[in-house]
Amino acid sequence: MPPPIDIKRFEQLKAVGDLPSPRGVAIAIIRLTQSADVSMAELARVIKSDPAFVGRLIKAANGLVAENRRAVVSVQEALMVLGLPAVRTLALGFSLLSNYRKGACEGFDYGRFWSSSLLMALSMQALVQRVRVVPADEAFSLGLLARVGELALATLYPADFSRLLKEVARSPQLRQLDLEQTAFAMTHCELGAAMLIDWGVPTQLVNPVLCFERPELADFAEGSREAGLVQCLVLSRAIAQLCLAPESEQARLMPAMLQLAGRLGLPRGDFVSLCERIAREWSEWGKLLQIGTARAPAFGNLCAADETESEPAASAADPTMTQPGSDMPVLIVAGDASERAHMRVLLEESGFSVHEQADYTQAIESAIDVQPCLLLVDWSGENCGASLVRALRTTRFGRTLHILALLDADDDGLLEEAAAAGADDFILRPIRPAALAVRLRAGRRTVTLQRELEREREELRHFAAELSISNRRLQEAAMTDALTGIPNRRFAIDRIQMEWAAAARHSRPLSVMLVDLDGFKEINDAHGHDVGDIALRQISATLRGALRAQDVICRTGGDEFLVICPDTDLSAALGCAERLRSAAHDMPIDTGGPRVRLTVSVGVAMREPSMANADALIKLADRGAFLAKERGRNCVMSAQVVHATS
Ligand SMILES: Nc1nc2c(ncn2[C@@H]2O[C@H](COP(=O)(O)OP(=O)(O)OP(=O)(O)O)[C@@H](O)[C@H]2O)c(=O)[nH]1
């Protein structure tokens, strides 16, 4: 494996201060997630100070809802679902994205870079949920930052890197990584890996990132997690390239991509729906992050075109048998080497990719690494087939594994033991090729149907998550006034009930204000409804801006607003009301045409223990507003003060 860049050189680059680095709230979030005794409440408070990050964090957490089966709607829930390491790398990734959307490197397409990184993030998240080489929550950020070294080269050496990229574009036979090595004595892969290590990403995750653009240099053990991660990164990059390629190029890129997917054990049908989901999420995320996206490729058609070229004679009689066996790894667990070799030949003839394990105690580990669909286990008297199968059945993937026990013909006791331990079927010694073929066919059909079922389930979970997000949006919309964007009457009714109950329970003061615009009809009549609408929008923004954080303003009528002030007695509420009145009075309204001025009359009321309910409190505030109008408008009145002083 190539070494990461010289640590001294990296420290120098860092010291100059030109390396891309997180800024603002992201730094506080990263620091907090690194501290051992951070409380979730404290972290949530810091996160909430960056509303853009809140939305992204919740969406990232919802990317995992297929596994967690419920939509995430709050920061706290998102923190629980994602965990601190993932929150840290997300803060990092999104901060870089916000701060490095453009830059001085003219030949580097910043928009395309982030669009492609987003595709890699979503592809990694989706692939890892299937292949399980790392937790899915880490995968998104890893994909997002996998090529951050390129951004760093563009930031550090804008002119030289720009020239280099143009050279690669002119002569595609030149390898970008070779040119980088010559020009900067390091590649973007090495620089990116050094940055990830510096940011605290574990080396088991960084090493695959270092190698995935040159997988021939990776020396990870076959079947290891790192090797799997490299494959996922290579496939994610291929998906990103295909999505961003011109339509005329896409068919050319598809076969290699399908081959990569096949190597990861993804059946074509599954892979196509996975790509479609990635493209859907790409477009949603693109809108959220203001990153350009393209129209999704027609994955189904591209895949079908590849099939007609490469597999003209697929079996029409049994659709579950059209999948090549290489999509289905088989693990043979048997002590006898010659028996394993015999089974390997038979299985490979049927197109399966075969893995072997002689040692029963290591078989669980092999099974977790290989994630086979079929397990062939020798069940002779002295081995531990029963404990192996029982242990596998307790794992997530082991529940759907098709297990065949290899038995001696005359031992009914062992046959019963195999069935009781969880074997699905058996094959008797000596193995007859035709009998094994029949068993394999049945096993393959079961596995295919199970996968289809799982895919449908996943789609259902996805739709359920989408539905719950749209429901939440609908709920929010139903509670918001469309013209001014502030809460509406329905919200006001719910909220005042809530505050009324809390005030009664804890014997705390509660006040409300009724704010009514003065002479608003005249503005409509003189300048038209459009100007009236503009005035309404500006005045509600001004009123909202003049309130304290704990107060809530709602538009309850055409030119009428209700302000709910928890924990506020009458004199404090009168003070707030005066602030509102004066803010409205001092604000010239810019309608883009005629300049208009607006004043407000405000009625204030405080809850009294003798009042029957919240309606009585609002009525009293309304009475105050009426008195203010009577008094000549542009003033604050309370029926309770008049009452007390009269
Ligand atoms: N442009 C616009 N006008 C609205 C909207 N909703 C209500 N109105 C108008 O608001 C005006 C309210 O008029 P009035 O209730 O007489 O109140 P006013 O003119 O402010 O008079 P006073 O309250 O007595 O000072 C009416 O002309 C309504 O048509 C709206 O959404 N947009």
Whole-number Å distance, alpha carbon 642 to ligand 1 midpoint, is 27
pLDDT per position as a tens digit, 535-592: 999 999 999 989 988 899 999 999 999 999 999 999 999 999 999 999 999 888 888 7
Residue 60 has pLDDT above 50, yes or no: yes
Q: What's the rounded mean pLDDT across residues 356-379?
A: 87
What pLDDT, on a 0 to 100 scale, did the predictor assign at position 323? Answer: 41
Separation of 592 CA from ligand 1 center, angstroms?
A: 20
Q: Which atom of ligand 1 is nearest to the CA of 516?
A: 23
What pLDDT, on a 0 to 100 scale, did the predictor assign at position 307?
64
The CATH number of the domain where 610 resides is what? Answer: 3.30.70.270
Cα(230) to ligand 1 centroid in Å equals 65
Final residue of a structural domain among 52, 82, 99: 99
What is the domain extent for residue 65? 14-99
- Residues 246, 336 share a domain: no
The DSSP code sequence of 454-499 is: HHHHHHHHHHHHHHHHHHHHHHHHHTB-TTT-SB-HHHHHHHHHHH
Nearest residue (by CA) to ligand 1, atom 25, is: 518
284 versus 149: the higher-pLDDT residue is 149
Ligand 1 midpoint to CA 585 (Å): 18
Q: What CATH number corresponds to the domain at position 444?
A: 3.40.50.2300
Domain end call among 253, 286, 311: 311
Q: Average pLDDT for residues 507-521, to the nearest whole number?
A: 96
In a domain, 350, yes or no: yes
Residue 457 lies in a domain: no
Is 473 within the bounds of a domain?
A: no
Q: What is the mean pLDDT of residues 247-255?
A: 88
215 backbone φψ class: left, alpha, beta (φ>0; ψ -120 to 50): alpha
Return d(Cα 43, Cα 26) in angstroms, integer: 11
Do 614 and 497 meet the contact criterion of CB atoms below 8 Å apart? yes
What number is the average pLDDT over the span 36-56?
78
Band (120; pLDDT cuts 50, 70, 90): very high
Centroid of ligand 1 to alpha carbon of 576 (angstroms):
24
List Cβ neighbours of 88 (8 Å cut-off, separation of 6 or more). Answer: 29, 30, 33, 34, 200
Work out which ligand 1 atom sits closest to the CA atom of 633: 25
Contact residues of ligand 1, CB 6 A cut-off: 483, 516-521, 524, 529, 532-533, 536, 558-559, 629, 633
Out of 484, 486, 521, give the residue to mutate to test ligand 1, the one with the largest number of ligand atoms within 8 Å of its CB.
Answer: 521
Ligand 1 site-directed mutation target among 518, 524, 597, most atoms within 8 Å of CB = 524
State the pLDDT at residue 592.
78
Listed residue (385, 358, 288, 374) closest to 53, CA to CA: 288
Instruction: Give the model's pLDDT for residue 310.
Output: 52
Instruction: Give the distance (Å) from ligand 1 centre to CA of residue 520.
Output: 5
462 within domain boundaries: no
The full DSSP string for 115-134 is: HHHHHHHHHHHHHHHHH-SS
Segment of 282-296, 454-468, 544-558, 622-636 carrying the highest mean pLDDT:
622-636
Atom of ligand 1 nearest to the CA of 483: 31
**Which pLDDT score, from 0 to 100, does residue 394 have?**
83
Task: Give the distance (Å) from ligand 1 centre to CA of residue 556.
Answer: 12
pLDDT recorded at residue 382: 66
And the tokens for 587? 């604000």
Both 115 and 222 in one domain: the answer is yes
Distance of alpha carbon 297 from alpha carbon 294, whole angstroms: 9
- Which has more confidence, 357 or 30? 357
pLDDT above 50 (res 311) = no
The atom number, within ligand 1, closest to the CA of 530 reads 1
> Are 86 and 113 in the same domain?
no
What residue owns the CA closest to ligand 1's atom 13?
521
Q: Would you state the pLDDT for residue 518?
A: 96
Q: Using 50, 70 and 90 to split pLDDT, how confident is the model at 322? A: very low
CA pair distance 588, 639, nearest whole angstrom: 30
State in Å: Cα 580 to ligand 1 middle: 19
| 55 Cβ neighbours under 8 A, 6+ residues apart | 288
Q: What length is written for the chain? A: 646
Residue nearest atom 6 of ligand 1, based on CA coordinates: 558
Cα 329-333-336 angle, rounded to 5 deg: 130
At residue 18, the pLDDT reads: 78
Q: How far apart are CA 374 and CA 397, in angstroms?
A: 11
Does residue 476 fall inside a structural domain? no
* The token pair that represents 577 in the structure block: 């009301």
- Distance from Cα 617 to the centre of ligand 1, integer Å: 24
Convert the pLDDT of each residue in 67-115 to its tens digit: 445 677 777 777 877 777 788 888 888 888 888 989 999 999 999 999 9
Averaged pLDDT score across all residues of the chain: 85
Residues 275 and 166 in one domain: yes
Whether residue 528 has pLDDT greater than 70:
yes
pLDDT of residue 269 exceeding 50, the answer is yes
| Residue 248 exposed, middle or buried by CB count within 10 Å (0-12, 13-18, 19+) | exposed
Q: Is the same domain home to 607 and 495?
A: yes
**Per-residue pLDDT, 68:** 43
Average pLDDT, stretch 598-611?
A: 96
Residue 605: inside a domain, yes or no?
Answer: yes
Q: Examine the domain organization and report whether 435 and 509 are in the same domain.
A: no
Q: How far is the CA of 561 from the centre of ligand 1 (A)?
A: 12
> What is the pLDDT, as a whole number, of residue 318?
40
Please give the average per-residue pLDDT across 136-160, as a whole number.
Answer: 90
Residues 6+ apart with CB under 8 A from 499: 510, 564, 566, 614
Q: Is residue 214 part of a domain?
A: yes
Do 255 and 350 lie in one domain? The reply is no
CATH code at position 162: 1.10.3210.10
- Protein residue with least CA distance to atom 23, ligand 1: 518
- Say yes or no to pLDDT of 315 above 60: no
* Domain co-membership, 597 together with 550: yes
pLDDT per position as a tens digit, 385-420: 888 898 888 877 788 889 999 988 777 888 888 999
On whether residue 441 sits in a domain, the answer given is yes
Mean pLDDT of 25-48: 78
Per the structure, how many domains does the chain have? 4
The protein residue whose alpha carbon is closest to atom 12 in ligand 1 is 521
Report CA(570)–ligand 1 centroid distance (Å): 28
Q: Grade residue 30 by pLDDT with cuts at 50, 70 and 90.
A: confident
Instruction: Report ipTM for this prediction.
Output: 0.95
User: pLDDT band at 327, cuts 50/70/90?
Assistant: low
- In this prediction, residue 69 carries a pLDDT of 52
Tell me how far CA of residue 108 lies from CA of 144, 151, 163, 178, 240, in angstroms: 17, 8, 10, 18, 17
Distance CA 370, CA 372 (A): 5
| pLDDT level of residue 2 (50, 70, 90 thresholds) | low
| Gap from CA of 461 to ligand 1 centroid (Å) | 47
- Pick from 554, 556, 574, 555: nearest CA to 564: 554
Residue 634 has pLDDT above 50, yes or no: yes
Q: How many Cβ atoms sit within 10 Å of the Cβ of residue 210?
A: 26
pTM of the complete model: 0.48
Poorest-pLDDT segment among 12-26, 35-49, 382-396: 35-49
How high is the pLDDT of residue 636?
97
Q: Using CA atoms, how far apart are residues 546 and 600, in angstroms rounded to an integer?
A: 13
CA of 117 to the centre of ligand 1 (A): 51
Confidence (pLDDT) at 316: 38
Q: What is the pLDDT of residue 317?
A: 40
Residues 242 and 356 in one domain: no
Test site for ligand 1: of 516, 555, 556, 559, most ligand atoms within 8 A of the Cβ: 559
Query: Where is the domain boundary, 451, 466, 501?
Result: 451
Q: Which of 214-223, 317-326, 367-376, 611-620 has the lowest mean pLDDT?
A: 317-326
For 156, residues 6+ apart whose C-beta sits below 8 A from its C-beta are 13, 18, 19
Residues 165, 187: one domain?
Answer: yes
Distance 412 CA to ligand 1 centre (A): 90
Is residue 160 within 8 A of residue 183, CB to CB? The reply is yes
pLDDT value of position 383: 63
Distance CA 91, CA 141 (A): 9
Q: Looking at residue 381, what is its pLDDT?
A: 60
* 428 strand-pairing partners: 407
**Same domain? 78 vs 116:** no
Give every CB contact of residue 571 below 8 A, 6+ residues apart in sequence.
none
Mean pLDDT (whole number) for 120-139: 82
43 vs 127: which has the higher pLDDT: 127
- Report how far ligand 1's centroid is from the alpha carbon of 529 (Å): 10
Same domain membership, residue 217 and residue 261:
yes
